[in-house]
């Protein structure tokens, strides 16, 4: 990947595939640019305010086709360990989100919430509900330490119902779909991953059994929203505790998992990787999203350091930022239909006008992702 760019006019022509419309049923997007979900903790007591609405509106005004909100919390007391992460339950929070939807739609954008439960990532005694113990399939944290007891089946049923209620509320207040967060070592992923799921009942053991919780969540969400409301599922192989972790070691294993999820009701897979250009399995250049599309035929979103010359972890591990990088490889893959949509995270976090600048070929005006830029993000 290189920082050398052609003229603005030539560059604008080259990136044109990124700005073709996309439609899935009633979901119509003006382009293929998706704002990736990024936790910000800017919602005191879990309620998104006018600043949150303005934040998302700015991205819609500047050409983003689809916004996926930061992770929002389903109605369960142990869903988070941060009181400033937004809820997706309760009248005050849902009213706040209704205003976000209104602002984004007025700006010509489309928006879906990402609904989320952190599971065993939560520490014992964390706010906002210090009395609530973290929950997970086997009570194991991501390092394999026993913290709590495994979730009982009645608790599993309650959590599945909470996902469904959040999705129903998303539809009711005007969102354009819903994304279920099943990646990065959080609750759904903890059921999928054999390192954190040591159960010996119908929710553990084989890959098919480990997938049961995810399948039940998707199926309940589908029942709650009906057949035409888009359901996106975010999946990853990697975990916050292990970048080399795998849910599926082969395409055949991945096909087993994805097929179950498609049957349950997934419309779009949001396939999370740290670097979109890296192949998922040996013997093929396809990335994780590319394999998801090949195996299911469903639309897919790719993500992972798009437009940047370094992966996101450098900011946290080394205090580094990232420069802007060419999109040539991304556009080539998009034109080959390896994936359908492209999620942009940090680049859009620091530069609300990223999409419009890219479309116009104004590469030299892009704001680089640096700690200083991050501290003044708007």
CA distances from 183 to 17, 72, 114, 211 (A): 28, 14, 11, 13
Are 244 and 254 a contacting pair, CB within 8 Å? Answer: no
DSSP-assigned letter for residue 123: P
Select from 121, 116, 64, 107 the least CA-distant residue to 87: 116
Is 203 catalytic? The answer is: no
Output b/e per residue, 317-337; b: 16+ Cβ within 10 A. eeeebbebbbbeebbebbeee
Q: Which tokens hold the place of 156? A: 């599993």
Under 8 Å between Cβ of 186 and 117: yes
Indicate which residue of 11, 163, 186, 203 is catalytic.
186
Strands (E), 194-230: none
Cα radius of gyration rounded to whole Å, the chain: 20
Structure tokens given for 22: 């996309």
Distance CA 141, CA 139 (A): 7
Catalytic residue positions, numbered = 186
């Amino acid at each position: 990947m290189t920082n050398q760019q052609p003229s603005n006019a030539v560059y604008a022509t080259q990136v044109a595939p990124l700005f073709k419309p996309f439609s899935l049923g009633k979901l119509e997007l003006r382009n293929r640019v998706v704002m990736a979900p990024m936790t910000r903790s800017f919602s005191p007591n879990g309620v998104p305010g006018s600043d949150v609405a303005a934040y998302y509106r700015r991205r819609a005004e500047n050409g983003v086709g689809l916004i996926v909100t930061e992770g929002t919390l389903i109605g369960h007391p142990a869903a988070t360990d941060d009181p400033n992460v937004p809820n997706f339950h309760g009248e005050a929070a849902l009213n706040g989100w209704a205003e976000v939807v209104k602002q984004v739609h007025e700006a010509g954008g489309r928006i879906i919430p990402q609904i989320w439960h952190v599971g065993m990532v939560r520490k014992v005694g964390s706010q906002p509900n210090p009395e609530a113990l973290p929950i997970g399939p086997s009570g194991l944290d991501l390092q394999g330490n026993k913290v709590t007891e495994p979730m009982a089946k009645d608790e599993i049923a309650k959590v599945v119902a909470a996902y469904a209620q959040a999705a129903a509320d998303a539809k009711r207040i005007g969102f354009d779909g819903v994304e279920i967060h099943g990646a990065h070592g959080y609750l759904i992923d903890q059921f999928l991953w054999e390192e954190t799921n040591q159960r010996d009942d119908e929710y553990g053991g084989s890959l098919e059994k480990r997938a049961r919780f995810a399948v039940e969540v998707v199926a309940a969400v589908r029942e709650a929203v009906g057949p035409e409301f888009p359901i996106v599922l975010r999946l990853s192989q990697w975990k916050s505790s292990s970048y080399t972790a795998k849910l599926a070691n082969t395409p055949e294993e991945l096909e087993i998992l994805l097929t179950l999820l498609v049957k349950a009701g997934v419309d779009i897979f949001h396939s999370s990787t740290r670097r979109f250009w890296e192949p998922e399995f040996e013997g093929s250049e396809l990335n994780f999203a590319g394999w998801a599309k090949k195996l299911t035929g469903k639309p897919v979103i790719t993500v992972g350091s798009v437009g940047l010359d370094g992966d996101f972890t450098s900011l946290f591990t080394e205090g580094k930022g990232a420069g802007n990088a060419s999109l040539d490889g991304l556009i080539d893959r998009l034109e080959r239909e390896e994936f359908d949509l492209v999620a942009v995270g940090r680049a859009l976090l620091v530069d609300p006008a990223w999409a419009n600048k890219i479309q116009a070929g104004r590469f030299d005006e892009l704001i680089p992702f640096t700690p200083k830029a991050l501290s003044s993000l708007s």
